[in-house]
Amino acid sequence: MTSAGPQVIASRDNAFLKELRRLAQDSTAYRKQGRIWLEGDHLCRAALQRGLQPAHAVFQSSFWDASGHDWADTGGKVVVIDDALFATVSGLESPARMGFVLPLPARGELQADAPTVVLDGLQDAGNVGTILRSAGAFGFRQVVAMKGTAALWSPKVLRAGMGAHFGLSLLEGIEPDGLSALAVPLLATSSHQGAFLHAARLPWPCAWVFGHEGQGVGSALAARASQFVRIVQPGGEESLNVGAAAAICLHASAAAAAATRP
């Protein structure tokens, strides 16, 4: 908190408020503005734990009055917004009462040998965020989103990721040829070919590719896959949700890698 105190916004026409609405409600606005919107105290604390500092810490007026002292050392400019106006900001079904505006993290270079997750046209923000969480949990620190995949830094994906973004190297808008630099084998799931996952020999490091919720892995990436695997489903369901399938596959890779260590 600065010595000058918070900036108080009580006008619907305030320029910062208009930009904040676009950032919170337009899934790709972060690309134009060069900053991201983290909504809710959990995400904000996750960012702080990773050493990130907001450019703006934004609070609903009543929340600031009740709990602002808990965020006094946040850093950045404190902005307090009238309760009724704050309610117009969020694009989420269950709006929070505070959030951070952070600079969009710089895009890194593709790491050729890194354990990697490739997202091929996934559209559902919840699935994408869930897979990012699984990637972080199971040691896959690089996530590559092919062109046409849901925006990785959109508010809904950030919310679903629950802070996983801040421990990952994220690249998006990648074309198939962009994967040529990967030096690790590409693995893909399939409902009709390949060994069953529990019996497959899984290389480490590797790159797992997960495809569109309805169409699966596209032909361009399927052609690059060095190995296909199937997940045994004794219950007889036609297919698994891609987020669940990803968690199963990434855990299997992590377990196989751990078993080979001395």
**Average pLDDT by stretches of 10, the chain with 262 residues:** 75 96 96 96 94 95 93 89 93 86 93 98 96 98 97 95 96 96 94 86 96 89 94 77 95 92 72
**pTM higher than the cut 0.85:** yes
Please, what CATH class does the domain formed by 7-103 belong to?
alpha beta
Which pLDDT score, from 0 to 100, does residue 4 have?
A: 65
Contacts of 218 (CB under 8 A, 6+ apart): 120, 121, 146, 211, 212
CA–CA gap between residue 107 and residue 206 (Å, rounded): 21
Which pLDDT score, from 0 to 100, does residue 50 have?
A: 93
CA–CA gap between residue 209 and residue 194 (Å, rounded): 14
Q: Residue ranges per domain, the chain?
A: 7-103, 116-260
Which pLDDT score, from 0 to 100, does residue 36 have?
A: 98
What is 116-260's CATH superfamily?
A: SPOUT methyltransferase, trefoil knot domain (3.40.1280.10)
